[in-house]
Structure 1
Amino acid sequence: MESKTDRTEPTAPPSAASAAAISAVLGDDDLLREILLRLGFPTTLIRAAAVSKRWLRHASDPTFLRRFRTRHPPALLGFYIRELGARGPRFVPVSQAPELATATRRASAAEGRFFISDCRNGRLLVMDFDPTACRHAVLSPLHPARGKVVLPPAPKQSLIWFFLTENGGGYDGAVAVLMLPIGTTKTKVQVDLLTSGSGVWVAHRTVVIDLPETLPPIAYTLPPVRGKIYSLTKSGHILGLDMTAAKSSLIQRPDKVRTDNFMLSFGEEGSKLILIHAEGYLLSIWQLATTRSDSNDWVLVYDKIRVHEAWNRLEDVMVMAADDNLEFVFLWLRSSAVLMHMHLKSRSEKVYDEFKVRDGRFLDINPFMMVWPPVFPALREEDNVEG
């Protein structure tokens, strides 16, 4: 005989009292903002903003977006990897969140014959493998309708680096940093910050800066942030150039960083300079406030993090890359010749056994993040289902 628990009762429609309660909650702007704040992903926030112009107004409010970013930093979708001799990069997903599946699929579709010069905020700055001319272009994999934006031909000078603009939004431009040593002693340098537009490079800012010593050979340069440029020299020091104050500094690495096995990046939207160092199977992470006058006041954030995969194999690791939120660090195991990543907060590790190269210095790794701020679609009048 069928029991009451075996029967499936039909779902009753919400009562008038329940509907009134729901309407009271969603009609309260303060409560609505708190609900939107807990959505978790920018993609979900965009879908919620499509409900009505009122919801869009709250979701796109700059104050609300600052709170949302603090609570839910832009997620790492995956990374682009290019091995020596490969025709181009391939995308490897990291996020398994269903809410990001569409974004991950679009990032995977952006593979091609090019070299990635810069990668941030959901965009790629690439250099085509064109036998007739090497040209730079901007790709927006998460917004394929924007297509490919080809940049003007590069200026014919040395010591030039190309980067994406700080805050992409709907703009697909790029900036170039040009350093020209002045005089025979090379203790002065002219720094030009160029922006792309109307088919040419335009000087956005030019400044002459005295250097603390002769301009040293530069290994690589970080993207300009808040008028400041940081370059790692081949001697292991960090050259800082402040274009606003027209000053320079030679930053020493922390005393405990005794090897050259480290990399630099930015954290907290450019307010922190991050140094990730590996020694044996241990990681240490330091940060330096870019707003402080003491250019050598490093703060130790993580000390002697054990990379268990390397410890188990009794081998050293090489620092390859890190995402913008300093959530994931990508490492290369020297002896096993495999790539892995560590999630710093949980200390979880993942080994990518499919990637085996003899020398990690020939691996090009570019972590790929979600776009911030979100790009909200415009609502039509007929989509405005509530006031």
Structure 2
Amino acid sequence: MEAERGSTEPTAQPAAASAAAVSAVLGDDDLLREILLRLAFPTTLVRAALVSRRWLRHASDPAFLRRFRRLHPPALLGFYLRELGAWAPRFVPVSRAPELATAIRRAGAAEGQFFISDCRNGRLLVTDFDPTACRHAMLSPLRPARGKAVLPPAPKRNLIWFFLLEKAAAGDDDGAVAVQMLPLGTTKAKLQVDLLTSGSGAWVVHRTAVIDLPETLPPIAYMLPPVGGKIYSLTKSGHILLLDMAAAESCLLQLPDRVSTKNFTLSCGEEGSVLFLIHAEGYLLSIWQLPTTSGDANDWVLVHAKVHVREACSRRENVMVLAVDDNLEFVFLWLRSSAVLMHMHLQSRSEKVYDELKVRDGRFLDINPFMMVWPPVFPALRDDDNLDGRSLTLV
């Protein structure tokens, strides 16, 4: 009997000591925040927040979320791809992380015949090819319960572009903005620019300006979402047109000295404080940036030079720049000769080739990278709520 009693004590004591150690660690707010910072994805962070109100308080704290974002930027789930003649885009997943499987499945479930006008923060702004009318709508694939939010009918004017708001909240359904342009006068060297926002079933003029153009309004290939009252457009002639609504001025930006071809794309990034230019020549990439608040509209700075695209180099091919994500982490490229679509992660220089997509012509591709929602959506609690996670849908 003595031997039996003695045999149980060595296992009971370490177990108690281990439980005490865990309690001491998780009971320390500083250590708990450091542990939560090690979670790789916002989805995992939201699940951890369901443990208790104390965990939720730390996980949803704005200062903590800023640290979390610096360590773990919103992940690229995949991209929507539409080729010339297709009535609907298809979703191509990029991430294979098990923690993001639900989000990827929902992103791929977006159905309908539509053209994507803008894509950011887990939402799509689409031109919906309804059988009876052409209308604009907002989709939230990661939150399917929201369904499709149809926007008010567009103003009956030409030269209109639609975007999602820069700083719209993750659950904001009234998050669309439109840029309307109306050439004035017989020479069309003067332009009325209206910035409209959607809400309460109508488009409302938020800001307007009459701007003198440096020349007759050139045909615009595409436009970036408005940033702080500034609108950057790429013309079909390969020039960058800047419309400054606050100053009621415009100018054609000079390209960086070493950008000698039209093989580039533009992005204002997620924060909108910098205009990026991503240029390809042969199998090399270069990335330039221009502060959107700079007084010198041509003060370009080279941030990445001679980035080798290994796949193109091995095939002895030139690359064509197609698109970038909001975080400027991934650049999507097309290999001209073999008609292959690929992307590169700029920080690690890792590459992925999509031979299975069989892209016919990259010049007519429409690519929209699709990111995770940020900030993460935490549960809104009442005093009598319990945090067990059973009634919460997580993405």
TM-score w.r.t. length of structure 2 = 0.90
Contact 1:50 1:379 in 2 (8 A): no
Range with bigger deviation, 363-372 or 183-192 = 183-192
Paired position in structure 2 for 1:345: 347
Which of 195, 205, 224 is equivalent to 1:193? 195
Q: Given the superposition, is the C-alpha separation of residues 12 and 135 from structure 1 closer, same or farther in structure 2, using an over 3 Å criterion?
A: farther
* CA positional deviation for 1:160: 0.8
**Secondary structure of the corresponding residue to residue 192 of structure 1:** strand
Paired position in structure 2 for 1:107: 107
Q: Given the superposition, is the C-alpha separation of residues 14 and 377 from structure 1 closer, same or farther in structure 2, using an over 3 Å criterion?
A: farther
Paired position in structure 1 for 2:3: none
CA-atom RMSD in angstroms: 2.0
The separation in 2 between residues aligned to 1:358 and 1:317, in whole angstroms, is 15
The separation in 2 between residues aligned to 1:298 and 1:322, in whole angstroms, is 19
Q: Given the superposition, is the C-alpha separation of residues 235 and 84 from structure 1 closer, same or farther in structure 2, using an over 3 Å criterion?
A: closer
Paired position in structure 2 for 1:383: 386
**Secondary structure of the corresponding residue to residue 374 of structure 1:** coil
Q: Given the superposition, is the C-alpha separation of residues 111 and 281 from structure 1 closer, same or farther in structure 2, using an over 3 Å criterion?
A: farther
* CA positional deviation for 1:281: 1.4
The separation in 1 between residues aligned to 2:259 and 2:360, in whole angstroms, is 26
Q: Given the superposition, is the C-alpha separation of residues 91 and 12 from structure 1 closer, same or farther in structure 2, using an over 3 Å criterion?
A: farther
Paired position in structure 1 for 2:172: 171
* CA positional deviation for 1:279: 1.0
Paired position in structure 2 for 1:7: none
Q: Given the superposition, is the C-alpha separation of residues 12 and 196 from structure 1 closer, same or farther in structure 2, using an over 3 Å criterion?
A: farther
* CA positional deviation for 1:211: 2.9
Contact 1:53 1:379 in 2 (8 A): no
**Letter of the structure 2 residue corresponding to residue 91 of structure 1:** F
The separation in 2 between residues aligned to 1:375 and 1:162, in whole angstroms, is 26
* CA positional deviation for 1:337: 1.2
Identity score, percent: 81
Paired position in structure 2 for 1:3: none
* CA positional deviation for 1:268: 4.8
Please tell me whether residue 247 in structure 1 is matched to residue 236 in structure 2: no
**Secondary structure of the corresponding residue to residue 40 of structure 1:** coil
The separation in 2 between residues aligned to 1:211 and 1:86, in whole angstroms, is 36
**Letter of the structure 2 residue corresponding to residue 266 of structure 1:** C
The separation in 2 between residues aligned to 1:217 and 1:324, in whole angstroms, is 25
Contact 1:315 1:333 in 2 (8 A): yes
Paired position in structure 2 for 1:48: 48
* CA positional deviation for 1:87: 3.2
The separation in 2 between residues aligned to 1:347 and 1:111, in whole angstroms, is 33
Note the 1:276-315 alignment, pairs <5 A: 276-315=278-317
**Letter of the structure 2 residue corresponding to residue 343 of structure 1:** H
Contact 1:332 1:340 in 2 (8 A): yes
**Secondary structure of the corresponding residue to residue 84 of structure 1:** coil
Please tell me whether residue 61 in structure 1 is matched to residue 78 in structure 2: no
Paired position in structure 2 for 1:373: 375
**Secondary structure of the corresponding residue to residue 357 of structure 2:** strand
**Secondary structure of the corresponding residue to residue 262 of structure 2:** coil
Please tell me whether residue 274 in structure 1 is matched to residue 286 in structure 2: no
Unaligned runs of 5+ in 1: 1-9
**Letter of the structure 2 residue corresponding to residue 294 of structure 1:** D
Contact 1:51 1:383 in 2 (8 A): no
* CA positional deviation for 1:182: 2.4
* CA positional deviation for 1:61: 1.9
Q: Given the superposition, is the C-alpha separation of residues 302 and 12 from structure 1 closer, same or farther in structure 2, using an over 3 Å criterion?
A: farther
Question: Which whole-Å deviations, capped at 9, do the CAs of 1:180-239 have from their partners, x for residues lacking one?
Answer: 222233333222111111221111122223333332221111011222211112222211
* CA positional deviation for 1:349: 1.6
Which of 233, 236, 239 is equivalent to 1:234? 236
Paired position in structure 2 for 1:5: none
Note the 1:80-119 alignment, pairs <5 A: 80-119=80-119
**Letter of the structure 1 residue corresponding to residue 218 of structure 2:** P
The separation in 2 between residues aligned to 1:59 and 1:315, in whole angstroms, is 47
TM-score w.r.t. length of structure 1 = 0.91
The separation in 2 between residues aligned to 1:371 and 1:247, in whole angstroms, is 35
Paired position in structure 1 for 2:366: 364
**Letter of the structure 1 residue corresponding to residue 210 of structure 2:** V
